[in-house]
Amino acid sequence: MTSMVIDFHTHPIYYQKYTPSAEGWIQKVHQLSGDEWQSFVQTYSDPSFFSRHLKDNGVDYAVVMAELSPITTGICPNEYVAEFCRGQDRLIPFASLNPYLLSNPRQELWHLVREYGFRGLKLYPTYHYFYPNDPMLYPIYAKAEELQIPVMVHTGSSIFRGARLKYGDPLYLDDVAVDFPDLKIVLVHSGRGFWYDRAFLLARLHTNVYMEIAGLPPQHLLEYFPELERNGDKIIFGSDWPGVTSITKNIETIRQLPIDQFVKEKLLGLTAARLLGIDVTVDSWKDPGT
């Protein structure tokens, strides 16, 4: 059986509103002119086409994230992501909450999970300007722990105008990991830039903390994490599409790394499957597109 691949970090191409910084960056990555950009958005806004695109790139399942970041990147509503993923077994919706825009984010999270079927949550400290251990977030963490859904938290750098790096230090998640021991915490970008060592150590120390490597050139992973295999159970693959042109290339680069084969399988899919509750036994697993 071919190893399962789960891309834990993709964005829809359609945003209700992009900031100029984010839209311009995606156009540059894909080398698109204005007219080409409109066609690109229309094509990849078809969930069936996007699902086939993932399959063609060797991805069995993908997390698709909403985003409510009007200052830095733009708005992709939760409702849109829920509809985009509906009926697409390959696509796994993750919600977004901006704690400054909600009077009762705990109740909103319950609603998003129970009524819309979201299977995780993404928080954006560097885009929304809060520290991840701020007490205002604790009701959100408590509800996520109760609902048994993973919480992704952006850590490290961002190239988008308006992002504030000081909120991206993974160390603030140490408090959260201690105070919510049954909450699965995913360090998005693994502290990219300043804090690779902190992300790695937190994942080593806490059974409920995981590292996600979206936005990191996979050929440099062993430079950033020389002892990567010691965290072999705690590292998760993500592409950050549409921030890359080829998911396949990233997957193949990881498969060529000089590390243990089983560690590669866990990194590319098995660990993510465990977090998402996806059965990966040989007898029960099949291509979700079949």
CATH number, position 101: 3.20.20.140
- What residues contact 226, with CB distance under 8 A and at least 6 apart? none
Strand partners, 75: 17, 68
Give 284's pLDDT tier (boundaries 50, 70, 90).
Answer: very low
Average pLDDT over residues 163-169: 97
Q: Which residues contact 247 (CB under 8 A, 6 or more apart)?
A: 7, 54, 57, 58, 59, 239, 241
Mean pLDDT, the chain, integer: 95
Does residue 281 lie within any of the structural domains?
A: no
For residue 288, is it within any domain?
no
Integer Cα distance of 17 and 14 in angstroms: 8
pLDDT level of residue 62 (50, 70, 90 thresholds): very high
Q: Is residue 285 in a domain?
A: no
What percentage of the chain carries pLDDT values higher than 90? Answer: 93
The string of pLDDT tens digits covering residues 66-101 is: 999 999 999 999 999 999 999 999 999 999 999 998
CA distance linking residue 98 with residue 59, whole number of Å = 29
How far apart CA 87 and CA 99 sit, in angstroms, is 29
The proportion of the chain whose per-residue pLDDT surpasses 70, expressed as a percent, equals 96
**For residue 286, is it within any domain?**
no
Task: Check whether 285 has a pLDDT greater than 90.
Answer: no
Q: Which domain holds residue 94?
A: 6-276
Whether 203 shows a pLDDT value over 50: the answer reads yes
Q: What is the CA radius of gyration of the chain?
A: 18
The confidence band for 236, taking pLDDT boundaries of 50, 70 and 90, is very high
The amino acid present at 57, given as its one-letter code, is N
Asked, for residue 283, whether it belongs to a domain, the answer is no
pLDDT higher than 60, residue 223: yes
pLDDT at 3: 84
**Which pLDDT value is given to residue 287?**
67
The answer to whether residue 1 is domain-embedded is no
pLDDT of residue 283: 41
**Cα(290)–Cα(286) distance, rounded to whole angstroms?**
8
In a domain, 287, yes or no: no
Q: What is the pLDDT of residues 16-59, one digit of tens each?
A: 999 999 999 999 999 999 899 999 999 999 999 999 999 999 99
Please report, to the nearest 10 degrees, the dihedral formed by the alpha carbons of residues 12, 237, 94, 16 taken in order.
-20
Please count the structural domains in the chain.
1
| In-domain check, residue 290 | no
Burial of 32 by CB count in 10 Å (0-12 exposed, 13-18 middle, 19+ buried)? middle
The pLDDT assigned to 282 comes to 45
pLDDT confidence tier of residue 280, bands split at 50, 70 and 90? confident
Question: pTM to 2 decimals?
Answer: 0.95
